[in-house]
Amino acid sequence: MNSHGVGPDRDVLKKIYSLYDRAMGDVDVAPVCRKKCSTCCTCNVTLTRLEAGLLMDSLGMEGKKDLGDRIQQRFPEKRYIPRMTTNGFARLCMEDREIPEEENDPAFGACPLLEDGLCMVYEARPFGCRALLSETRCGREGFARVPPLVLTLNTLFLQTIEHLDQNGFSGNLSDMALFLLSGRSFGSNTGNLHGTCWEGLFVHNEQIPMLMVPPKHQRRLKDLMEDLKGLLTGLTSSG
């Protein structure tokens, strides 16, 4: 069976995940998130093609079948379908262009991979799930309270992960998983999806046009930004 992950890129993605864990260990926050705290685990999570490939590669044949069955049985009638990526948002801001409206409501429902408050693919979960953090009880307050520095960190890593997969695309986790399980080509061009059931579900990734790190956080995150740059530069050099 062909690997869904792209060799060196997949290894760099794992390093980025590990770097995020270390970076968060240096941030002075007191998250209330605990095991089975799944209020934020909705059907609206998105991921890149590369992240989806890493997730799929972590599963055996039975795991992939179970993943497909779970999504098919619990496929959300409504879910967040992205119209732009994080780097696309940054580019539009640079160009002083209007930001397209997107419909994203937690009330659409829970993630189909959630079982008794636990994630069925936790170890291979995408960054969008890894970045979930709140200093208040989401279920009680109705929203997550994320410190400004953590928001900046999350954006920085989202931009880097997208840049790593700049020739790929992003989409809703359910759509992306079913797309890969369908045996469709793992190529980067979504244009050939015209006229199929997959049309309009995915959005092309982009390079980083600028890092969305506010001045008040730049000094604090300088070394981390250099580390992330080194990972991407190292990949380019080895390629």
Given pLDDT bands bounded at 50, 70 and 90, which one contains residue 192? low
Given pLDDT bands bounded at 50, 70 and 90, which one contains residue 1? very low
Chain centroid to CA 50: how far? 10
What DSSP string runs through 169-232?
EEEEHHHHHHHHHTT----S--GGGTTSTTTTSEEE----SS----HHHHTTTHHHHHHHHHHH
In the chain, % of residues over pLDDT 70: 86
Residue 186 has pLDDT above 60, yes or no: no
Q: Note the pTM of the prediction, 2 decimals.
A: 0.89
Assess contact for 195 and 82: CB atoms under 8 A: no
Residues 195 and 14: their CA atoms lie apart, in Å, by 35
Given pLDDT bands bounded at 50, 70 and 90, which one contains residue 187? low
pLDDT tens by residue, 56-85: 988 889 989 998 998 998 888 899 999 999
